[in-house]
Every structure is written in C-alpha cells, then in structure tokens.
Structure 1
C-alpha cells in the first residue's frame, strides 16, 4: 500500500494555512513543529474540523542525552502527544 502525505512547516504560526482541499487530497499530515501538536492552532483546526484524520509526528525537538533514561524519554514523548493520537513517530538519525 502506498500513502501520500504532506509535511507541515515547522516555522509558520498556523500550519493549517493551505486551502483545505490540499489537505483533503492526502492520506495523512506529518507534524514536525517544536511544540505539542494539540497546542498548535493550525494542527488543531485540521483535526477538530476533520479536514485530516491521520497524523504522524516527526520528533524534531528530541535531543538524546549521553545516558538515555528510557522511562523519562517515554514520559516526555507521551506528554508531547497529549490530546492527539499520532499513528507513527519518525525522526532522523545522524552522527
């Protein structure tokens, strides 16, 4: 199965700024903002008005420490997603 999504810009005040028809043509949106998606005005509008029904989350703000506390990291991720139900979380990894 192939799905087509749209990535929302991290640096606009309300990511849901495009015409609704653009969002309705994709299977999902990928939110990569630096704040919880539930508190983002554009993301809230897209979800609340059922313009998009599927969201993925790009964890752009996760900074892994030298000694990773898995429980603490899981708690922080869960807090960040409060009020939304992302189907996938993605991130980039590099040296």
Structure 2
C-alpha cells in the first residue's frame, strides 16, 4: 500500500516536472521576444518563480533517488537532469 502511494506521488511530481518545464520554456520565449521593458520584467519575475518550483521538484526527486525504497531510479534521474539542463541551457541559474 505504501509503495503504491509513493508511486502515485512520484507520478504526480513527474507530471508537474513536464508541465513546469513547458511553462518555463514558454515564459522564457515570451521574455526573449518582448520589446516592452515592463513586460520583460514581469516575465523575469515569472521565470524566477518557475525556477524555484522546478528546484523544489528537483530536490524532491533527489530525496527519492537517495532512498532505498525505489528500485528503478532511471526515470527520476532523467527528470532531474531535464530540470538542470533546461535551466542551465537558458543561463538563468
């Protein structure tokens, strides 16, 4: 029962990672294409907020990777790397 609950929580978190990365990309593109300084600053604030959310998700994934309760950690490692790669690729860390 606990394993199923943990798997449900992991699945939910991985879904949030996918949605968060997509939102991050959209905000970043919007910020890059904006010519209005006010809009650009708002996008920067939204971007920082999204980075914090992704970093919290990454920290949760790190906790699960370190846990002995999970056998196959490959999907967790992929999502952790995805977060790190996306944020670093846009040079906003």
Same fold per superposition (TM over 0.5): no
TM-score (norm 1): 0.31
Q: More strand by proportion, 1 or 2? A: 1
TM-score (norm 2): 0.31
Q: More helix by proportion, 1 or 2? A: 2
